[in-house]
Amino acid sequence: MNDRKKTLITGGRGFIGVNLFQKLNKTRDVIVLDNLQRSSPTGWTGNETNIIKSDILDPSFLDIPFDDITDVVHLAAYGSVVESISDPLANFIVNAQGTLKALQSAVSLGAKRFIFASTGGALIGDAIPPVDELALPKPISPYGASKLCGEAYCHAFAKSYDLETICLRFGNVYGPHSAHKKGAVTMFIKALMNDEPIVIYGSGDASRDYIHVDDLCRGISMALEAPLEGGDVFHLASGRETTVLELAKILCKVSGKSNHPIEFRAARTGEVNRNFADYAKAKSTFNFSPIWTIEDGLAETWEWFLAQGDDILLGQTSDA
């Protein structure tokens, strides 16, 4: 008799999803739902029985025969601040409306727990770091607002439908299988590989909390297993503030190109100035602590990109 829990991951073919699948599939039966529009070109280790090509916004989503789903990890989202400003309605439909649809599906499926991929920086907005779960959310971009809306629906479903909704506020995630992303780490690495200048928007003093995808996926796994009450929120982060300029210099160093040129351009609207998070609540509640330092994590990520060869520079790009 198979007594393994069965987990559904929405957006499970994206950067975080393929890494999470590898981890969870060792101890659980995992089904991935993804429309494949913004999927990672690398990292998928499942087979046809592990994936259903569909969309959380598709009216037929609930008609898909999922059996005995115990948990849902909702990763499917549009993750770009810049895109959310240029098209806030599309961002709302996918992130807010899509999360509501996923919550309704979880209830219909009889799932016990629902993990929501939220964000710390964009949701909190400009605040004096380190931020924690008591920081007052004041998003400054439609993307941040859509994630705050998702958290509100998660809390409402916990209280109205007895669903164990857990909101995990991710730091800026980096690591293997991120070549299709548009984040700073990916863009800086590709610039180094192409011998092109690294482009920084703003003065370089803007800071972020960079968390390795392995640490993040371990935190998600812990949150799936821990005895938690529905409606709670936790930061999964490194707890370290790293400026964008420092990030660029670390990558220059690990790549052996310490004198690589860096160009500065005008700052972009909607992006938070300073951000890093305190993960003390996650540590005290389910013993989460990051393992990777930014230096070791970026060195490992650089080596992964090099191992992909020139093909990785010709692949698709998106914000999945």
| Cβ–Cβ under 8 Å, residues 167 and 77 | no
Find the helix packing angle between 184-193 and 244-254, rounded to 10°. 40
pLDDT at residue number 317: 35
| Cβ–Cβ under 8 Å, residues 281 and 288 | no
What count of other Cβ atoms lies within 10 Å of the Cβ of residue 265?
9
pLDDT at residue number 61: 67
DSSP letter assigned to residue 41: S
Cα distance between residue 122 and residue 135, in whole Å? 12
Domains of the chain: 6-173+210-236 (3.40.50.720), 179-208+241-274+292-314 (3.90.25.10)
| Least reliable range by pLDDT among 9-23, 47-61, 168-182, 183-197 | 47-61
Tally: H helices and E strands in the chain: 12, 13
End-to-end CA distance of the chain: 37
Between these two residues, 64 and 215, which has the higher pLDDT value?
215
Q: Which residues contact 214 (CB under 8 A, 6 or more apart)?
A: 19, 175, 291, 292
Confidence grade of residue 58 (pLDDT, cut at 50, 70, 90): confident
What count of other Cβ atoms lies within 10 Å of the Cβ of residue 157?
23
Cα distance between residue 16 and residue 189, in whole Å? 18
Q: Region 270-288: what's the mean pLDDT?
A: 95
pLDDT at residue number 29: 94
In a 13 Å sphere around the CA of 15, the CA atoms on its Cβ side amount to: 27
Cα distance between residue 113 and residue 166, in whole Å? 8
Strand, coil or helix: what is 146?
A: helix
* Phi, psi dihedral angles at 86 (to 5 degrees): -75, -30
DSSP letter assigned to residue 277: B
pLDDT in tens, 190-244: 999 999 999 999 999 999 999 999 999 999 999 999 999 999 999 999 999 999 9
Cα 99 to Cα 75, 78, 113: the distances in Å are 9, 11, 14
pLDDT at residue number 186: 96
Residue 310: is its pLDDT beyond 60? yes
Residue 2: is its pLDDT beyond 70? no
Cα distance between residue 141 and residue 33, in whole Å? 27
pLDDT in tens, 15-49: 999 999 999 999 999 999 999 999 999 999 999 89
* Phi, psi dihedral angles at 83 (to 5 degrees): -65, -35
DSSP H helices, the chain, are: 15-24, 81-86, 88-92, 98-109, 121-124, 142-161, 184-193, 213-225, 244-254, 280-286, 294-308, 311-314
| DSSP per residue, 212-258 | EHHHHHHHHHHHHHS---TTEEEEE-----EEHHHHHHHHHHHTT-T
pLDDT at residue number 63: 66
Confidence grade of residue 319 (pLDDT, cut at 50, 70, 90): very low
pLDDT at residue number 318: 32
Strand, coil or helix: what is 96?
A: helix
In a 13 Å sphere around the CA of 258, the CA atoms on its Cβ side amount to: 1
In the predicted model, what is the mean pLDDT of the chain? 93
| Cβ–Cβ under 8 Å, residues 262 and 273 | no
